[in-house]
Each structure stands twice: as C-alpha cells, then as structure tokens.
Structure 1
Amino acid sequence: MTRAPLIALIDGPLAADAPGLAARMDLFALHPRAAESPAALHASHMAAAIRANAPEARFLGLSIFPGRLAASLATVAEALRRAAESEAAIVHCSFGQGEASPVLAQAVAEVLAAGKLLVASAPARGAPVYPAGCAGVFPVQGDARCTPGQWSLLDLPGARFGACPGGPGAPVRGASLAAAHFTGLLARASLEGGIEAMLQTPSFTGRERIGAGGPHAA
C-alpha cells in the first residue's frame, strides 16, 4: 500500500499532538505561550484543511511564525531549504512575501530541483506575492464555486488554480485556506489516480465571475 506523502507545512508551530505530525522544526525560539498564538491557530487550520482531502497526510512542521503571522525573508528561505532537503513530497506555503527576491527565488528553485511540489497562496486582488509568483510553483487563490473537494483552473496572471476559500463564519478564509485544500487534493491524487490525471480534470475552468445568479465561470 502506498504511504501518504509527507507534507512540509511552512507556517506557525503545530501542536505536538496535531493529527499527522511526523516531526517539527522551529526556526526560532518558541514563546512559552506559542501554542495559543495566532500563528499556531493558523497552522492548525491549514493542517486540518489539508487533511480534509487527504486524511492520512503526514506533516513536517517548519515553524516560521513566532506568534503573529510575520516572518523575515531569511527565515522563509531557510525553511524552504530545509524542506528541499527533507523527505517531504509537497511543500505548503499559505503566505506571501510582497516583493520578489533572489534569495527567495533561489530557495524555491532548490525545492523544485529536489523534485518536490510547492503550493503557495495567491491573493485574488493586488500585486503578485511570493513564492506564489515564482516559476514552477502551484499558485492558488480562493474560488467561491469550489467545495473543499473541488479545484478550478483559472489561468490568471497571479494564480493558475483556485480552490475552496472556506464557508461563511469560518475562522480562516481566503487564499490561505484555498491553498491548503489544494495541497490536500494533490496529496490525495498521489495515492489514487496520480497528480497528472488530477490536473486534467478541474471542476471549473475560467475565472470566477460574481453575478445575480452567484459565482460561475466567465
């Protein structure tokens, strides 16, 4: 039986008893109350969204957010390098840096050269963010047409893919959650018909357009 892929989750610190946690590397000294921080809550929501589509997913937690959801470029690059050197098959980044950087681009290139898939969140509006804007990355934004088990082929300048952004009242919504759902779909596909087969069958094609009848393809 094929083992569920290991996913390098670059985010806040996952709790030691988080479902699927195989190992955790903290790229900073943890605060005594880190487990109660917004960063830890964000990481737990991303892991849960991934496992919604891939219940057997395993995680290598790479903690870059010490409490609030902010990290230096050097810390992000170091986390990507560690992911590149790990046994993870998929690297997940539900965040974005506002400026392109040779340092970040090199770290992304190392991940891709190691044969790993890299998924990153991309905002629906505004300037591109990175690593989603780097070549070879799966950039994902929220698409209200999608349920957690669906994805869309948008082919937009900032995001090629869309996925479920979360329902009303969800504690986390938007591109971060959409990227996590998409990572879970990739993980599930790797155990079933294969990722290439999955990428041939989007639930929706074309950008989302909001009208009187609700979201639909343009």
Structure 2
Amino acid sequence: MRQPALIALIDGPLAADTPGLAARRDMCALHPRAAGSPADRHASRMAAAIRANAPEAQLLGFSIFPGRLSTALATVAEALRHAAASEAAIVHCSFGHGEASPVLAEAVAAVLAAGKLLVASAPARGAPVYPAGCAGVLSVQGDARCAPGQWSRLDLPGARYGACPGSPGTPVRGASLAAAHFTGLLARACMEDGIEAMLQTPSFTGRERIGPGGPQAA
C-alpha cells in the first residue's frame, strides 16, 4: 500500500480534533463563534465523507468561510494558489460560484499545472458553477444510484461524474456530499491500485433517470 493521500479541503474551518487533520490555514478572518457555525459543520461533514472511503487520508484544511457559507472570489483564489503550492495530491471544493471568473480560472490552472487533481461539486440542475465548470476539473453531482462506495461516469454538460448524495434526512446531502465521497474514492485509489485503474470501473454509466422502480441508468 502506498502512503496515505494528503487532501487539501477548501471549506470552512476544521476543528483541531478533526480525524486526519494534518494542518489548517485560515484564508480569512474567522467569526469569533466560528466553532459550531454553518461553515464549521459543513467542513466537518465533508471531511467525514472523504474519510468514509479513505480512512487513512490526511487533510490540509484551507478555511475560506468565516462562519456563514459565503466568501469572496479572491479568498477562494488565494486558497487554490496555496493548495497548488502544497504537497496535497487532491484539492477538494464542495462549493460553486455562479459566474466564470478569470481570477478563479487562473487559480484553478495553477492547481492543475502543479499536477494535482481538483474535485468540485456541480448541481444536478441549473447553470454551470465554478470551479466545477473550469476545464480539467473533476466535476461531481449527486447520483441516487450510488451507495457511499460507488461512483458513476455521467459525461453530462454540468458534471462528468456522479457519486452518493447522502441519505434522505441527513443534515447535508446533494452535490457537496457527492463530491466529498468521490474525493475519498480517489484518495483510496491513490493508496491502492491507482486512480487510472479506478476510473476504468464505474458502478454506473450514463445519465441517471427515475423509472417505476427508482433510479436507473439511461
């Protein structure tokens, strides 16, 4: 088995006792009550979903949400540039901006030029979001066919891959959680047979559709 993968998680502030947390860098001034905030809870759930598929993975947290789940594009770009310069093999973004931005595109390009994988969440409906919409990014949306250890090859305009969106009634579900599950699968593949081998064996291929018996392949 290879060394545990290091993942740059760009999200809210991870608590010091988060399992697998190697280090945290705050890209913004945090709210005095950031602990227990929506940003804190979102980040911790993304970290847990990643490590559900790769328990040995290590996390490098980049805090871009001070408390609320909103931030400036400049803060996102700075976090991406820091992630590009880090030793992380995978950079994870469970968020999206509604408009393409040259600043964001340049930061994404820096991550990819550094030889890293960049995973980002993409909504199942509506216009593209960024960084998922940037060239070279592994864009992921929720696919109800997928269990936590499964993924799908969709090749849709908004998302190339699908993964488990979480169970009904869970605090966070949808594209954000699906992307985190997919990142965990990539991290596990890094430590086992390699990512190229993983990407040859999707659990499902093609668009999800809802039939009389539930979600089906198109």
Answer whether TM exceeds 0.5 for this pair: yes
Q: Kindly provide the amino acid, as one letter, of the partner of residue 73 in structure 1.
A: L
What residue in structure 2 maps to residue 188 of structure 1? 188
Q: Kindly provide the amino acid, as one letter, of the partner of residue 109 in structure 2.
A: A
What residue in structure 1 maps to residue 90 of structure 2? 90
Q: Kindly provide the amino acid, as one letter, of the partner of residue 70 in structure 2.
A: A
What residue in structure 2 maps to residue 150 of structure 1? 150
Question: How far off is 1:36 after superposition?
Answer: 1.1
Distance in 2 (CA, whole Å) between partners of 1:183 and 1:9 is 10
Distance in 1 (CA, whole Å) between partners of 2:61 and 2:68 is 17
Question: How far off is 1:102 after superposition?
Answer: 0.7
Distance in 2 (CA, whole Å) between partners of 1:164 and 1:57 is 19
Distance in 1 (CA, whole Å) between partners of 2:119 and 2:187 is 11
TM-score by length of 1: 0.99
Question: How far off is 1:169 after superposition?
Answer: 1.1
Q: Kindly provide the amino acid, as one letter, of the partner of residue 200 in structure 1.
A: Q
Query: Within 5 Å, which residues of 2 pair with 1:121-132?
Result: 121-132=121-132
TM-score by length of 2: 0.99
Matched-pair contact (CA < 8 Å) for 2:25–2:62: yes
Runs of 5+ in structure 2 lacking a partner?
none
Question: How far off is 1:65 after superposition?
Answer: 0.2
Distance in 2 (CA, whole Å) between partners of 1:213 and 1:140 is 24
What residue in structure 1 maps to residue 59 of structure 2? 59
What residue in structure 2 maps to residue 164 of structure 1? 164
Q: Kindly provide the amino acid, as one letter, of the partner of residue 54 in structure 1.
A: A
Q: State the Cα deviation string for residues 64-99 of structure 1 (Å, max 9, x = none).
A: 000111111100000000000000000000000100
What residue in structure 2 maps to residue 202 of structure 1? 202
Runs of 5+ in structure 1 lacking a partner?
none
Matched-pair contact (CA < 8 Å) for 2:90–2:117: yes
Query: Within 5 Å, which residues of 2 pair with 1:66-81?
Result: 66-81=66-81
What residue in structure 2 maps to residue 137 of structure 1? 137
Question: How far off is 1:32 after superposition?
Answer: 2.2
Q: Kindly provide the amino acid, as one letter, of the partner of residue 142 in structure 1.
A: G
Distance in 2 (CA, whole Å) between partners of 1:3 and 1:178 is 24
Q: Kindly provide the amino acid, as one letter, of the partner of residue 80 in structure 1.
A: L
Matched-pair contact (CA < 8 Å) for 2:8–2:62: yes
Q: State the Cα deviation string for residues 35-80 of structure 1 (Å, max 9, x = none).
A: 1100000000000000000001101100000011111110000000
Q: Which moved more, 1:127-136 or 1:22-31?
A: 22-31
What residue in structure 2 maps to residue 40 of structure 1? 40
User: What secondary structure is seen at the aligned counterpart in 1 of 2:96?
Assistant: coil
Q: Kindly provide the amino acid, as one letter, of the partner of residue 23 in structure 2.
A: A
Distance in 2 (CA, whole Å) between partners of 1:75 and 1:67 is 14
Paired residues, what number?
218
User: What secondary structure is seen at the aligned counterpart in 2 of 1:166?
Assistant: coil
Question: How far off is 1:28 after superposition?
Answer: 1.5
User: What secondary structure is seen at the aligned counterpart in 1 of 2:28?
Assistant: coil
Distance in 1 (CA, whole Å) between partners of 2:131 and 2:120 is 6
Distance in 1 (CA, whole Å) between partners of 2:108 and 2:80 is 7
Q: Kindly provide the amino acid, as one letter, of the partner of residue 187 in structure 1.
A: A
Moved over 3 A (4+): none
Q: Kindly provide the amino acid, as one letter, of the partner of residue 49 in structure 2.
A: A
Distance in 2 (CA, whole Å) between partners of 1:74 and 1:205 is 36
User: What secondary structure is seen at the aligned counterpart in 2 of 1:171?
Assistant: coil
Question: How far off is 1:168 after superposition?
Answer: 1.2
Distance in 2 (CA, whole Å) between partners of 1:169 and 1:52 is 18
User: What secondary structure is seen at the aligned counterpart in 1 of 2:35?
Assistant: helix
